[in-house]
Amino acid sequence: MKLDRRTFIELGVGFSAGAGAGFMLTPVNWKLIDDMSIWSQELWPRYQLGGLEGRLPQRGKVTHADSVCNLCPGGCGITVRKVADRVTKIEGREEYPINNGGICPLGAAGLQFLYGPWRAPSPLKRVGKRGSGHFEQITWDEAINEVVQKLGDLRRKGQSHTVACILGSDRGTVPQLFDRFLKAYGSPNFIRTASAEDTYELTLGLMQGDTASVGYDLERANFILSFGSGLIEGWGSPVRGIKAHSIWRSGDSKERATVVQIEPRLSNTAAKADNWYPINPGTEAALALGLAHVIVKESLYDSNFIRNHTFGFKDWSDASGKKYMGFKRLVLTKYASGAVSGITGLSATRIVELARAFARAERPLAVWGRGKGTVSGSLYECMAVHALNALAGNINKPGGVSTRPEVATRAWPGVSQDATALKGSGKPRIDGAGTGRYPLTKYLPERWPQVINEEKAGTIQALLVHEADPYYTTLDSATVAKAFDRIPFVVSFSTYMDETAYHADLILPNHHYLERWEDLPTPVGLQKPILGLLKPVVSPQFDTRHAGDVIMTIAKALGRSVGDAFPWKDYETVLKETIGDKWDTLEEAGYIEDADYRPPAWEKAFGTPSGKFEFYITAFDQTGMKISKDLDYLPHYEPVHPEGNADTYPLILIPAELMRLANGAIGNPPFCTKSLEETELKRNDLFVEVNPKTAANYGLSEGHHAMLETPRGKAKVLVHLFEGIMPGLISIPKGLGHAAYDDYLAGKGVSANSLMGVVEDPITGLSATWGIRAKLTRA
């Protein structure tokens, strides 16, 4: 076997517990050393902003400091090596509860974000056309005064509700400060960027009565059934997923866990699974219910849990005697293996075999959330997968799934709202969440561009963005660009010159994550509460300020009606008072872990109206939702059709997410971009994966140029023939097509979001987009 760079990385990912660290260290030493030399000699002069003179660190004392990485939602502990006050290396922190010494490629490349040319060096004011990149440096006083003047004018005009904030998270003290600012100022428009959390929180709220985050006990499960989750490609906490995979592969054949991956494309997770079952995309809910059919028909479910702790499994009657269909009759009558085979493309025999293997496993676990979990997804699909966990009786059990609380901290005093704040906060949200058709949904992060472009009442007049890049990450790039042009005033708090900053009117740059204090709540998917602490391990390299301090300064400058909501001197005071008597422990250890946490027993676990796990969702009636048919109260398969006409667009484009390619609020650093295969990116040209049979039908060959077109856009691409994608489907990676950052990322490839539109879930209004119709023609 040829031991090339990719093979080595994949071996590290697939087979060793030390892969989290070893999988990074060796490829860097073997392959990237040449690139690092070139970078330090040729690129480093471009990194000399802010007085960073010299290409090599000066001589000095070598020290190490611990902190936490926030470049992705994983929240890994890191150890930073310094020479004097210069950071020279970032490694995974040993014995940190999440990653235990491992680090992913993005985390290891954090050094480039600290010293890179894409950092905003000081407050910047746009002086040219939006998107031109023409800014002038201004002082912090000038920048803050301009924000205060704009927001003050809107508030005096009774238009406080036309201000919105978009953040990458709603957990932690800094997001809470922005949320508190809007409450005191008088706006309901706090928006969190899209992720699978949007839908899973709703699922847990409806089926278990708890809207907390989901926790998967991956390490103790012995049969993992993944519905498209990129468990070793960045889902949840990336290094944790890799290490869990190595646990599943440890021991002899009897002790090893079984991993089954359900998705239409052969991802690395699928390649490392025991079984990969490619199914027609968008039919995951049907497969989950087909598996449930077999489990129920053959009585393979946990009878104790189903009989004593669930509601709606069997048919039932209300007080008036009206009868309702239960989950059991639904799956037995509508999701027989033959019917599900026709929907999914998976044989009936395999459906039966998979259902039996899952149900008979000692600790089975069904995992949901496509790719890295960056899309919201379908509610009924998530509910159908979660129903499998209920049938297995693994709710709140070792190796199972649970709702997970956060580490307890001190509550802040309530916000005293004046008349303007009360009136503004009482206005409908711009995204329509929480009211009307979608009373259950907290945020609708893909909807605001459409609302702005339709010029509906309450259109946004000012937008504040922190730890997010909605200009790049929101689906349907053309619609987003049009919406940004209609917003009179955009303020970015970004550390970097990302797409949103590039199209902002003002940039108030935040400290880099290695330059500031900040709490980092439990990562997605972790089964135990943990609170990490970002620490300033190096002094600020530029004229930046902590975003928490800046938003409080703005609030206080707006007058007592807003400023009184912020009684703290500075952000560090906020953080210490919030942590309370746990601060000394947090500061010393760098994290607080509730290692003894145990999910509640079934008798106390469910906060639903019935007090039980609900297959039949009674909460729908309590919210006043307009449910059109009885079937809608139960998890069922409701197709989410991809946008586009099949005659015009005969193919289906699906995005792929790669460990080596950041596709969220952070752009890919040069070291990671260099690790992309030449069948993914060649110079600036993006490859589209095409099954050889599909390519033959369209006269396409390996490496040939083609025109990729969808109802939302088109792009010139190169063809890569790939047996690992189903015929009729094509795929491109997410994370390329940037216009911002620098020459090592800007202009490379095509943004998948520029080719994808929004298809809304009928119940939640969230984006359920999983693909879009497309066509390929020879260029």
Whether the Cβ atoms of residue 184 and residue 565 lie closer than 8 Å to each other: yes
pLDDT of residue 493: 98
pLDDT of residue 251: 72
The vertex-767 CA angle with 766 and 769, nearest 5°, equals 155
Query: In the predicted model, is pLDDT for residue 36 greater than 60?
Result: no
User: Which whole number is the average pLDDT over 338-352?
Assistant: 98
pLDDT of residue 3: 30
pLDDT of residue 456: 65
3 state SS of 223: strand
Q: What percent of the chain has pLDDT over 70?
A: 92
Q: Determine the Cα–Cα distance for residues 27 and 239; give it in Å rounded to an integer.
A: 16
Residues 448-472 pLDDT 10s: 999 999 976 558 999 999 999 999 9
pLDDT-based confidence at 32, cuts 50/70/90? very low
Residue 670, amino acid: P
User: Which whole number is the average pLDDT over 96-121?
Assistant: 95
pLDDT of residue 37: 43
Give the pairing of strands 62-68 and 77-83.
antiparallel
User: Which whole number is the average pLDDT over 517-527?
Assistant: 95
pLDDT of residue 385: 98
pLDDT-based confidence at 628, cuts 50/70/90? low
Query: In the predicted model, is pLDDT for residue 497 greater than 50?
Result: yes
Count other C-beta atoms under 10 Å from residue 714's C-beta. 16
pLDDT-based confidence at 709, cuts 50/70/90? very high
Q: What are phi and psi of 507, to 5 degrees?
A: -120, 120
pLDDT of residue 26: 33
pLDDT-based confidence at 58, cuts 50/70/90? confident
User: Which whole number is the average pLDDT over 658-684?
Assistant: 94
Query: In the predicted model, is pLDDT for residue 606 greater than 50?
Result: yes
Query: In the predicted model, is pLDDT for residue 74 greater than 90?
Result: yes
Q: What are phi and psi of 83, to 5 degrees?
A: -115, 115
Q: Determine the Cα–Cα distance for residues 146 and 242; give it in Å rounded to an integer.
A: 47
pLDDT of residue 744: 87
pLDDT of residue 627: 74
Residues 293-321 pLDDT 10s: 999 999 999 999 999 999 999 999 988 99
pLDDT of residue 8: 33
pLDDT of residue 459: 87
pLDDT of residue 39: 46
Query: In the predicted model, is pLDDT for residue 71 greater than 90?
Result: yes
Whether the Cβ atoms of residue 592 and residue 531 lie closer than 8 Å to each other: yes
Nearest Cα residue to 113 out of 90, 133, 92: 90
Q: What percent of the chain has pLDDT over 90?
A: 85
Count other C-beta atoms under 10 Å from residue 304's C-beta. 10
Query: In the predicted model, is pLDDT for residue 98 greater than 50?
Result: yes
pLDDT of residue 219: 95
- Give bridge partners of residue 265 from the DSSP assignment: 725
Alpha helices for 324-378 (secondary structure H):
327-334, 337-344, 348-360
Looking at mean pLDDT, say which of 53-57, 189-193, 251-255 comes out highest: 189-193
Q: Determine the Cα–Cα distance for residues 574 and 716; give it in Å rounded to an integer.
A: 50
Whether the Cβ atoms of residue 557 and residue 148 lie closer than 8 Å to each other: yes
pLDDT-based confidence at 9, cuts 50/70/90? very low
Count other C-beta atoms under 10 Å from residue 597's C-beta. 15
pLDDT of residue 29: 37
Query: In the predicted model, is pLDDT for residue 175 greater than 50?
Result: yes
Contacts of 720 (CB under 8 A, 6+ apart): 679, 680, 687, 688, 689, 690, 702, 703
Q: Determine the Cα–Cα distance for residues 103 and 68; give it in Å rounded to an integer.
A: 11
Chain centroid to CA 3 = 33
Task: Please provide the average confidence, as pLDDT, over all residues in the chain.
Answer: 91
DSSP 679-727: TTEETTEEEEEE-HHHHHHTT--TT-EEEEEETTEEEEEEEEE-TTB-T
Query: In the predicted model, is pLDDT for residue 389 greater than 90?
Result: yes
User: Which whole number is the average pLDDT over 696-711?
Assistant: 97
pLDDT of residue 59: 82
pLDDT of residue 162: 97
Residues 397-413 pLDDT 10s: 999 999 999 999 999 99
Query: In the predicted model, is pLDDT for residue 220 greater than 70?
Result: yes
Segment among 19-28, 385-394, 567-576, 581-590 with least mean pLDDT: 19-28
